[in-house]
């Protein structure tokens, strides 16, 4: 299918350490074997990684002879997961008390810095993966636009395409972006943290999965509150 649409191959944002499992999967190995490799690689973080990537893993068996290159790394992926765990612990503490603005600033600024490093490293791996000229399809998740900007800055023709409904981000992602761009006021930080905690409490914790929680959050118009209240 990839070659039939004029692409030379597929660039996956999977850790390059999973390349062997991807080859085995495409060679006829069961999906469970790839899941075991992920479990060995990420341990307690494996289920979260599989939740996001299991459908894509399963579809790799139907790619035919297309060239597939993994452009991520376990080290960077683990760093991002560690940051998510730090945020989760901070959520728990904040649910039972007040919003510690300085701690949220520090935690999210560090996480944003690590994420930027991960995207930059992925851009380098994408460039290394392009051993031949032509058209390549790259799966990059919600950070595709950042990756697109980095590749375009290197002189490559690149265009990101959104699949599914528009992704407007979450209160936590909005706050992380504002912290990268500058120094929002304490009132704004507190407001977005409270929006995030409400999203977790009123949607995530009472939904079967994160996708359904986010869909209901959008349908109820909660996203509009991202642009209200709190000085930047």
The tens digit of pLDDT for each residue in 187-200 reads 999 999 999 999 99
Q: What is the pLDDT of residues 94-132, one digit of tens each?
A: 988 889 999 999 999 999 888 888 878 877 777 776 656
Q: Give the pLDDT confidence of 50-76 residue by residue, as tens digits.
A: 988 898 898 888 877 778 888 888 888
Cβ–Cβ < 8 Å for 125, 72: yes
Rg (CA), the chain: 19
* The pTM of the whole model exceeds 0.85: no
Q: What is the mean pLDDT of the chain?
A: 85
Burial profile 78-114: b = 16 or more Cβ within 10 angstroms, e = fewer: bbbbebeebbeebbeebeeeebebeebbebbeebbee
């Amino acid at each position: 299918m990839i070659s039939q649409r004029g692409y030379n191959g597929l660039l996956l944002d999977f850790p390059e350490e999973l390349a062997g499992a991807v080859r085995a999967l495409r060679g006829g190995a069961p999906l469970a074997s790839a899941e075991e490799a992920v479990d060995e690689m990420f341990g307690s973080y494996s289920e979260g990684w599989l939740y996001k990537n299991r459908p894509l893993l399963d579809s790799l068996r139907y790619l035919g002879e297309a060239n597939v290159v993994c452009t991520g790394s376990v080290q960077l992926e683990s760093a991002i997961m560690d940051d998510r765990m730090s945020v989760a612990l901070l959520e728990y503490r904040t649910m039972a008390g007040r919003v510690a603005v300085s701690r949220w600033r520090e935690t999210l600024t560090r996480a944003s810095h690590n994420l930027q490093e991960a995207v930059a490293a992925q851009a380098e791996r994408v460039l290394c993966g392009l051993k031949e000229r032509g058209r390549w399809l790259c799966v990059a998740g919600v950070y595709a636009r950042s990756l697109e900007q980095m590749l375009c800055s290197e002189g490559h023709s690149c265009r990101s395409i959104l699949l599914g409904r528009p992704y407007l981000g979450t209160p936590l992602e909005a706050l992380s972006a504002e912290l990268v761009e500058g120094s929002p006021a304490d009132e704004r930080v507190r407001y977005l943290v409270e929006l995030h905690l409400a999203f977790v409490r009123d949607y995530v914790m009472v939904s079967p999965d994160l996708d359904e929680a986010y869909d209901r959050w959008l349908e109820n118009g909660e996203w509009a509150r991202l642009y209200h209240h709190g000085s930047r």
